[in-house]
Structure 1
């Protein structure tokens, strides 16, 4: 019987420094051009050996996933693919709300695949884990390696890039969820590419971010949720040097040169009834 010492693995969330929707594909998916950035904030998965079976539980935020949590789907996918049935007890400590553009669920799925690979001794390479991750969702492959990466295709074609700054990032999460499906519907794209991907240097600078980066979801999301648009304006008013919607929202993040300014902004947004998390980039 395979046993192991209890351990935990972090499932860090992400922001999109840029997110351009190039067009809708004939298969219904959308081609993206995006920069993913891993952050230190996220969920945690805790693992213990179990004598007879796989068990899953969740603490922290109360999420109604209908019993179909991505952690369970990742377990089933790994078992079916490798033939290795790991008997373990997994507790997901949930901190990242769904519908906030931070990829919390995707990060959980990737963390589960990596942990099972470690426990079982299957020895799958990152490329094989990325192939599995793509079956769980478009954002999941990014979280296998994390850091900062350029994503294309539906988000599964990844290339590492570097960034010459590590400034504090303030996540402002309003008490609303944005439907990704509705956000895409608001784009009204045709079945051909309407936009060309941005050409950028492998080393990203602040000038690249402020001059080249944008999020194509902002017009439709801001129109539907004016309070989210106001968060972005308020971040700039509080001296963020960059602010943007992450993914299709609802999170808006601000990047600050000075941590004290970021802490003051955090207090302001919390007083407004938002969740405000001060974190920093990884990688």
Structure 2
């Protein structure tokens, strides 16, 4: 593994905007001997973003603003990404890291995973480490199952723990999206403990090729039933989306963000609870 680092100059700052993803269908197919689960899903990127800034030279420190992030800042995935690269690139200089959090936590939108993956890419570009994407994906998989997707950041069919990615052709640019997060944090470990793995009745790759208007009866998320049973408001949000013109609505990931796909520029002016985070992509 090469250890050389090219320094960009006496002072440099770089800002990137880690985006979220949604899951279109999510099937938990098997519990593995290593304690993880095999799954299949479609990852689709959307432009709801955090902001990640790195300044060098500096001392290794991390600060944040925006939505509160639970836990110790020292365990933040951005710092973990830096330290992971530093193991193989020991001359990687210390940097100041600031994360402005806009993607809700525990929402099934992959915000933390995106931050980690974008941190890897930012350091790779900033210090000209010349790490190829396949190696970045290997690093990202160490940080979290969803992280490798954000190295690709294009629609992908995902299997394994979510790290085995096959790019697919899926363009939903002719539709508008509504993301609703009702302020519920879903623990991923708990959500997996509620699922009995099973093989889907119909192949997800086949279902996703059908018109969006057919997805309501074809594409589902194994987590949605159990999470909505614990948090009935999620079913209410989904019903409201359909009642107001959604072509397809479902929970993303292990929740609790609900996703609605609407005809272009046809998102109704629904009056949501003032405590909800509402994102419109039109």
TM over 0.5: yes
Q: In the alignment, is the contact (CA less than 8 A) between 1:48 and 1:89 conserved in 2?
A: yes
| Structure 2 residue 172 is matched with structure 1 residue 184 | no
Return the match for 1:56 from 56, 62, 78: 62
Q: Deviations over 1:130-154 (max 9, x none)?
A: 0000000000000011121110011
Structure 2 runs not aligned, ≥5 long = 1-5
Q: Deviations over 1:117-173 (max 9, x none)?
A: 011211001100000000000000000111211100110000111224311111000
Q: Aligned residue for 2:218?
A: 212
**CA RMSD after TM alignment:** 2.0
Return the match for 2:123 from 108, 116, 120: 116
Q: Aligned residue for 1:278?
A: 280
Hey, what's the Cα distance between the residues in 2 that align with 1:213 and 1:56? Answer: 40
| Structure 2 residue 12 is matched with structure 1 residue 9 | no
Q: In the alignment, is the contact (CA less than 8 A) between 1:169 and 1:255 conserved in 2?
A: yes
| Structure 2 residue 269 is matched with structure 1 residue 264 | yes
What's the TM-score once normalised by structure 2's chain length?
0.90
Structure 1 runs not aligned, ≥5 long = none
Hey, what's the Cα distance between the residues in 2 that align with 1:208 and 1:12? Answer: 27
Residue 206 of structure 1: how far off its partner (Å):
2.0
Q: Deviations over 1:18-53 (max 9, x none)?
A: 1111121111111111000111002110122124x3
Number of residue pairs aligned between Structure 1 and Structure 2: 272
Q: Aligned residue for 1:99?
A: 106
Q: In the alignment, is the contact (CA less than 8 A) between 1:162 and 1:203 conserved in 2?
A: no
Residue 211 of structure 1: how far off its partner (Å):
4.5
Residue 194 of structure 1: how far off its partner (Å):
3.8
| Structure 2 residue 254 is matched with structure 1 residue 253 | no
What's the TM-score once normalised by structure 1's chain length?
0.89
Q: Aligned residue for 1:223?
A: 229
Q: Deviations over 1:1-29 (max 9, x none)?
A: 93353221010011101111112111111
Q: Deviations over 1:155-214 (max 9, x none)?
A: 00001112243111110000211111111111134xxx5447534289664256445321
Q: Closer, same or farther in 2 for the Cα pair 1:164/1:136, shift >3 Å?
A: closer
